[in-house]
């Protein structure tokens, strides 16, 4: 193997760690990557784990078969130290099944040993780029969590029932989930962009679909801000809404078509209201269920007796009567990073729509939310 000349770039080379107990293969891989990457080596898993604790690597190239601690066990320990770094496992003949186990255990890619030079370089380039994206997303998520904690402290110190002073806090709360969607789908698009370089038509179609979802989530964020601006001026834009179609849209766009959310509904159910306010309600209610550990969320929408009746039933942890009462008042949350605003926002918005809101819950038996809208009779 010969090192490839480094391409001109701004900033330091990405750091890569090569882990292999055999001197020849280890140094060969390191030499191959040295022109483009800042390469360190380790001959034992324990030594590698020590280096990973001391330094943030963009990628780790590791042999599966090693004495003392094999690659599978090392991968498990590695993930406790760094959940974001890309790991490429090297597998020799007869260890393909083990390599597949490594993928299940958290590896990002595996290559046959000895690896093809160009394939190795391309794999490390791709995986270092993915590490950078994951680290960016982790940083943004961490900042969002810290902001939530700060907001929660602020709410506890001030009167939670004064809506005028909480408007800005609510806006940030509502933007958290759709912005996470934007970040998540942006990462997916970046991964697909790599495949696009090989002119793959199917991947191109997926990329367009992801882009469409990102666009809708970003549009939702924009409308949230606009709705708060209008709310401060008492301007409300109500229009005919199909609650069934809107529920499906929230499941698909905001919750990545989550299999946990199941919808049983009439063909359509029309109400009059603000599209983005109703989306906010559904987003908050579904997210509360997921945060409570629900693995099944059944949403039903039916029209009966001049009302559109919606029920959201989950199998999450549930709450006792005291917790339910505090949650409905606002400023209380069972989540470490929660602001306690979600249910208060829902009740406030639904009240503006003339809708009735009821919540029942029992510890260990999940939570049921029932919403009743006045039906909109269409010509």
Contact yes or no for 308/375 (Cβ under 8 A):
yes
Nearest of 361, 180, 160, 363 to residue 283 by alpha carbon: 180
Contact yes or no for 340/155 (Cβ under 8 A):
yes
**How does pLDDT run across 210-249, given as a tens digit for each residue?**
777 776 776 667 666 656 555 554 455 789 999 999 999 9
Start and end residues for every CATH 3.30.565.10 domain found in the chain:
239-374
**How does pLDDT run across 36-49, given as a tens digit for each residue?**
999 999 999 999 99
In angstroms, the CA 260 to CA 295 distance is 5
CATH for 15-130, among 3.40.50.2300, 3.30.750.24, 3.40.50.150, 2.40.110.10? 3.40.50.2300
Class of domain 239-374: alpha beta
Contact yes or no for 33/13 (Cβ under 8 A):
no
- The pLDDT of residue 71 is 85
Above 80 in pLDDT, residue 252?
yes
**How does pLDDT run across 307-331, given as a tens digit for each residue?**
999 999 999 999 999 888 888 876 5
For 105, the 3-state DSSP assignment is coil
Please give the average per-residue pLDDT across 121-131, as a whole number: 93
- The pLDDT of residue 47 is 95
- The pLDDT of residue 300 is 97
| DSSP string for 341-371 | -HHHHHHHHHHHTT-EEEEEEETTTEEEEEE
**How does pLDDT run across 146-186, given as a tens digit for each residue?**
777 776 676 666 554 445 445 555 666 666 667 667 766 76
- The pLDDT of residue 342 is 74
In angstroms, the CA 323 to CA 361 distance is 9
Whether this prediction's pTM lies above 0.75 is answered by: no
Average pLDDT, whole number, for the chain? Answer: 82
Start and end residues for every CATH 3.40.50.2300 domain found in the chain:
15-130
Phi, psi angles (nearest 5°) of residue 196: -60, -30
Above 90 in pLDDT, residue 123?
yes
Helix (H) or strand (E) holding 374: strand 366-374
């Amino acid at each position: 193997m010969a090192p490839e000349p480094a391409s001109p770039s701004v900033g330091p080379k990405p750091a890569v760690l090569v882990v292999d107990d055999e001197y020849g293969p280890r140094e060969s891989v390191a030499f191959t990557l040295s022109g483009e990457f800042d390469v360190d080596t380790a001959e034992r898993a324990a030594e590698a784990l020590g280096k990973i604790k001391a330094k943030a690597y963009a990628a780790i190239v590791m042999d599966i078969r090693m004495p003392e601690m094999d690659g599978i066990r090392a991968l498990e320990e590695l993930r406790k130290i760094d959940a974001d770094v890309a790991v490429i496992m090297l597998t020799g003949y007869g260890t393909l099944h083990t390599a597949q186990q490594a993928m299940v255990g958290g590896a990002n890619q595996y290559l046959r040993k000895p690896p093809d030079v160009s394939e190795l370089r391309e794999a490390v380039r791709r995986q270092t780029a993915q590490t950078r994206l994951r680290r960016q997303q982790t940083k943004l998520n961490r900042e969002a969590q810290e902001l939530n904690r700060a907001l929660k402290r602020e709410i506890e110190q001030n009167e939670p029932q004064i809506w005028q002073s909480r408007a800005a806090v609510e806006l940030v709360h509502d933007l958290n989930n759709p912005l996470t969607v934007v970040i998540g789908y942006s990462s997916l698009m970046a991964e697909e962009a790599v495949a696009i370089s090989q002119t793959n038509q199917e991947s191109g179609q997926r990329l367009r679909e992801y882009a469409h979802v990102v666009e809708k989530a970003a549009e939702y964020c924009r409308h949230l801000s606009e709705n708060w601006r209008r709310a401060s001026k008492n301007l409300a834009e109500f229009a005919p809404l199909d609650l069934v179609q809107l529920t499906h849209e929230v499941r698909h766009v905001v919750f990545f078509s989550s299999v946990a959310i199941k919808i049983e509904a009439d063909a359509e159910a029309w109400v009059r209201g603000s599209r983005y306010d109703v989306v906010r309600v559904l987003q908050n209610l579904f997210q509360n269920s997921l945060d409570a550990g629900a693995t099944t969320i059944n949403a039903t929408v039916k029209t009966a007796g001049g009302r559109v009746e919606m029920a959201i039933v989950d199998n999450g942890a549930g709450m006792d009567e005291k917790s339910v009462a505090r949650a409905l008042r606002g400023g209380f949350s069972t989540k470490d990073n929660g602001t306690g605003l979600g249910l208060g926002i829902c009740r406030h918005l639904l009240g503006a729509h003339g809708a009735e809101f009821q919540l029942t819950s029992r510890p260990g038996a999940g939570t049921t939310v029932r919403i009743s809208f006045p039906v909109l009779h269409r010509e």
